[in-house]
Amino acid sequence: MNDPIIQLDDVTTIHEGSTHPTIQNISLKINRGEFVIVGGPNGAGKTTLLETIAGRLPIISGTVLVCGFDVVHHGPQIRKKLGYVIQNFDFDPYTPFTVEEVLLMGRYGLLGFCKRPGSDDFTAVEQSLTQMGIISLRKSHIGRLSGGQQQKVLIAHNLAKKPDVLLLDEPFSNLDLTTREHVCDVLCRIADAGVTIVMVSHAFDALPARGVRAVVMKSGKIVLNKVIPPEQVQDTVRHISNDTNA
Ligand SMILES: Nc1ncnc2c1ncn2[C@@H]1O[C@H](COP(=O)(O)OP(=O)(O)O)[C@@H](O)[C@H]1O
Ligand SMILES: [Mg+2]
């Protein structure tokens, strides 16, 4: 299978206000339907890689294509096809939105200008709440939930978008083991249905029963990029991450 849905060519990006590029001369091709695990030590540039794919950072050289669109010039088109579960979120306790409203916001980008959500949108919201096991929270205010519950809502928000590509940045950091396994199963099913998943994670509780692309980063560079059987992911990523010569 060779059908790139994400393609970075010799990309260097910089954070605003920073004097040094955060990731440098990165090239990476991810095919449609791949399950990608991004590993590496703290500060390696994993979050920056996802922000770059999502078009959130200034690109100082190279090109980034997602779903065939250049992220610099076609942000709105890409945002319709891309889900992004960010690493650090912080909801004020008084955030005036219910869980259901947060999920509906995931659908607004798909609607036309000034259009109101219809039955497809409410169905997608309901399906995502059910998938994540949080239907009972639908009327709760997001700011009043625990960190783990908020994390599940953010994942559900992105599932409701029905994205072609789903980026997840340490999505298990607030979740207990049982919930983590449940979320892993949901992600595997989505991947098996053809959604491309790029996940920064140190947890390897469940992976799809097929090849997984392991990408390991260090000091803003990719030091491993290889499709391997799921049972080898944990050892491979840990070994390369800890290898001081890599
Ligand atoms: N907003 C920012 N401004 C300046 N530098 C940043 C910013 N965010 C991250 N960095 C720097 O970029 C590097 C990579 O960070 P990051 O991508 O968050 O690493 P990781 O996700 O692998 O832990 C780190 O050196 C970090 O200090
Ligand atoms: Mg990070």
How does residue 52 score in pLDDT terms, banded at 50, 70 and 90?
very high
Average predicted confidence (pLDDT) for the chain: 92
What backbone phi and psi angles, to 5 degrees, belong to 9? Answer: -120, 110
Q: What's the pLDDT tens digit per position in 153-208? A: 999 999 999 999 999 999 998 888 888 889 989 999 999 999 999 999 987 777 88
pLDDT-derived band at 1 (thresholds 50, 70, 90) equals: low
Whether the per-residue pLDDT at 241 is higher than 90: the answer is no
pTM of the model: 0.94
Q: What is the pLDDT of residues 65-75, one digit of tens each?
A: 999 999 999 98
φ/ψ of 112, rounded to 5, equals -75, 170
In ligand 1, the atom with minimum distance to the C-alpha of 22 is 12
Atom of ligand 1 nearest to the CA of 16: 3
Nearest CA to ligand 1 atom 5: 15
Q: Check pocket membership of 201 for ligand 1, CB cut-off 6 A.
A: no
- Using alpha carbons, select from 88, 89, 57, 101 the residue that is nearest to residue 75: 57
Q: Is the CB of 43 under 6 A from ligand 1?
A: yes
Ligand located closest to 39 CA:
1
Position 111 scores a pLDDT of 75
φ and ψ at residue 147, rounded to 5 degrees: -60, -40
The CA-based angle 228-49-111, given to 5 degrees, is 105
15 lines ligand 1 (CB under 6 A): yes
Testing ligand 1's pocket by substitution, the residue of 11, 12, 22 carrying the most ligand atoms inside 8 A of its CB is 22
pLDDT of the residue at 2: 74
Domain boundaries, the chain: 4-242
How far apart CA 123 and CA 189 sit, in angstroms, is: 19
Element at 27 (helix H, strand E): strand 23-31
Strand order in the sheet with 165-169: 82-85, 165-169, 196-200, 35-39, 212-218, 221-228
4-242: CATH number: 3.40.50.300
The C-alpha R_g of the chain, in whole angstroms, comes to 18
